[in-house]
């Protein structure tokens, strides 16, 4: 289990993490979501003792990470696959981890097989690895101690579609065996497929958390029409909340906080033709993410780029 209680981290006058509290539970995959700069990586670095907290605290397996006698046997960590020693081979990196943790030599070959690095790839220096291969090696290093907890920051980065599916199945199976998996990713679809629980952070603060089912249940209904203003007015008059949505790729869509049957009835009474009407579940996570983190999004326009230049 991972517990984060009132965690705050400041750099000068800037609060990178602001009073963050959540729990990642055993047997479940917890998706940790937020835009770049929201505080995800800083929070994870505090969890594994790489960055000191300004206030608050975190525990892993009931103790501070610094108090774990053999951390790799209890917590598998992958924060930056590119941080591996470029001059060593993949086999050497796994061997160093195996010896440091006091594990049997057989664990090295087991991990190479698990992450599908061939013998020739294992004996290649990491500087010659692709990012996807470094991710596989990093996951192997995180898993070599057979830990009860995994903390992974963007583990799918650099993986091809087959690699992403392999990683997803691996982590899902690991959680199903009783492990705690905390997974940060910007690939919202992958999080939606694998996660049991979601923690959404924006501007250093938690903006939503709960089970995936609970959070996506509030996604409501998506409706397309050529008369968005008319339908919006009719819904508002009926006391039904609605907002413009880009979930279907156009400006003819509303997301409505009501069931499809209610929306259809209001549209019929207002004599407004609908192009599409369906539950928002398919686009629920993306919509929720964009709405909750709107103040933390970084959209760079041509004018912004000109100023930066």
pLDDT tens digits, one per residue of 266-306: 999 999 999 999 877 655 666 667 666 666 655 433 333 33
Last residue of a domain, one of 147, 181, 211: 211
Q: Which of 4-13, 190-199, 295-304 has the largest mean confidence?
A: 4-13
* CATH number for position 266: 3.30.70
**Based on the domain organization, do 22 and 134 belong to the same domain?**
yes
The verdict on residue 206 lying in a domain is yes
Distance from C-alpha of 30 to C-alpha of 264, rounded to nearest angstrom: 35
Widest Cα–Cα separation across the chain: 73
Q: What is the pLDDT of residue 225?
A: 94
**Based on the domain organization, do 176 and 226 belong to the same domain?**
no
**Listed residue (201, 206, 210, 224) closest to 278, CA to CA:** 224
**Based on the domain organization, do 128 and 94 belong to the same domain?**
yes
**Based on the domain organization, do 40 and 95 belong to the same domain?**
yes
**Based on the domain organization, do 133 and 174 belong to the same domain?**
yes
**Long-range CB contacts (< 8 A, 24+ apart) of 185-192?**
185/31, 185/33, 185/154, 185/155, 185/156, 186/36, 186/154, 187/156, 188/33, 188/285, 188/286, 188/289, 189/285, 190/156, 190/164, 191/31, 191/33, 191/285, 192/216, 192/284, 192/285
**Based on the domain organization, do 58 and 104 belong to the same domain?**
yes
Mean pLDDT of the chain: 88
Last residue of a domain, one of 153, 178, 211: 211
Q: Which domain holds residue 99?
A: 2-211
Tally of structural domains, the chain: 2
Q: What is the pLDDT of residue 287?
A: 65
**Based on the domain organization, do 87 and 187 belong to the same domain?**
yes
Q: What is the pLDDT of residue 233?
A: 95
Strand partners, 4: 22, 58
User: Is the four-CA dihedral 147, 149, 155, 160 of positive or negative sign?
Assistant: positive
Could you write out the DSSP letters of every residue in 9-21?
A: EEETTEEEEEEEE
**Based on the domain organization, do 229 and 170 belong to the same domain?**
no
Report the interhelical angle of 106-114 vs 90-101 (nearest 10°): 130
pLDDT tens digits, one per residue of 209-237: 988 877 776 667 889 999 999 999 999 99
Q: How sure is the predictor about 192, in pLDDT bands with cuts at 50, 70 and 90? A: confident
**159 vs 56, 127, 133, 137, CA distance in Å?**
35, 17, 8, 12
The verdict on residue 65 lying in a domain is yes
The verdict on residue 306 lying in a domain is no
Encoded tokens for 286: 């993306």
The verdict on residue 304 lying in a domain is no
pLDDT tens digits, one per residue of 50-68: 999 999 999 999 999 999 9
Q: What is the pLDDT of residue 36?
A: 82
Averaged pLDDT for residues 191-197 = 88
**190 vs 165, 262, 263, 292, CA distance in Å?**
9, 31, 30, 19
pLDDT tens digits, one per residue of 128-148: 999 999 999 999 999 999 999
The verdict on residue 302 lying in a domain is no
Last residue of a domain, one of 211, 233, 263: 211
**Based on the domain organization, do 50 and 150 belong to the same domain?**
yes
The verdict on residue 301 lying in a domain is no
**Based on the domain organization, do 148 and 253 belong to the same domain?**
no
**Based on the domain organization, do 127 and 240 belong to the same domain?**
no
* CATH number for position 166: 3.40.50.300
**Listed residue (126, 138, 121, 153) closest to 39, CA to CA:** 153
Q: Is the pLDDT of residue 248 over 80?
A: no
* pTM of the predicted model as reported, rounded to 2 decimal places: 0.79
């Amino acid at each position: 289990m991972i517990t984060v209680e009132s965690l705050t981290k400041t750099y000068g006058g800037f609060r990178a993490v602001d009073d963050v509290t959540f729990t990642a539970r055993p047997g479940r995959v917890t998706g940790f979501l937020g835009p770049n700069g929201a505080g995800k990586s800083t929070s994870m670095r505090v969890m594994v003792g790489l960055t000191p907290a300004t206030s608050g605290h975190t525990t892993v397996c009931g103790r501070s990470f610094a108090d774990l006698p053999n951390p790799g046997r209890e917590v598998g960590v992958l924060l930056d696959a590119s941080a591996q020693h470029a001059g060593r081979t993949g086999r050497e990196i796994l061997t160093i981890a195996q010896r440091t943790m006091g594990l049997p030599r057989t664990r090295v070959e087991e991990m190479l097989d698990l992450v599908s690095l061939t013998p020739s790839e294992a004996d290649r220096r990491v500087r010659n690895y692709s990012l996807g291969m470094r991710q596989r090696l990093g996951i192997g290093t995180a898993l070599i101690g057979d830990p009860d907890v995994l903390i992974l920051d963007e583990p799918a980065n650099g993986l091809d579609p087959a690699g992403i599916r392999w990683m997803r199945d691996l982590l899902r199976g690991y959680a199903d065996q009783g492990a705690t998996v905390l997974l940060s990713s910007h690939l919202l679809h992958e999080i939606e497929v694998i996660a049991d629980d979601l923690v959404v952070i924006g501007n250093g603060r938690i903006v939503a958390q709960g089970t995936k089912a609970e959070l996506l249940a509030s996604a409501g209904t998506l409706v397309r029409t050529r008369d968005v203003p008319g339908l919006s007015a009719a819904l508002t008059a009926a006391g039904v909340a609605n907002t413009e949505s880009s979930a279907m790729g156009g400006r003819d869509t509303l997301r409505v906080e009501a069931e499809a049957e209610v929306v259809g009835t209001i549209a019929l009474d207002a004599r407004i033709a609908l192009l599409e009407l369906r539950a928002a579940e398919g686009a629920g996570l993306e919509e929720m993410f964009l709405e909750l983190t709107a103040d933390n999004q970084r959209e760079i326009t041509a004018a912004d780029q000109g100023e930066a230049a």
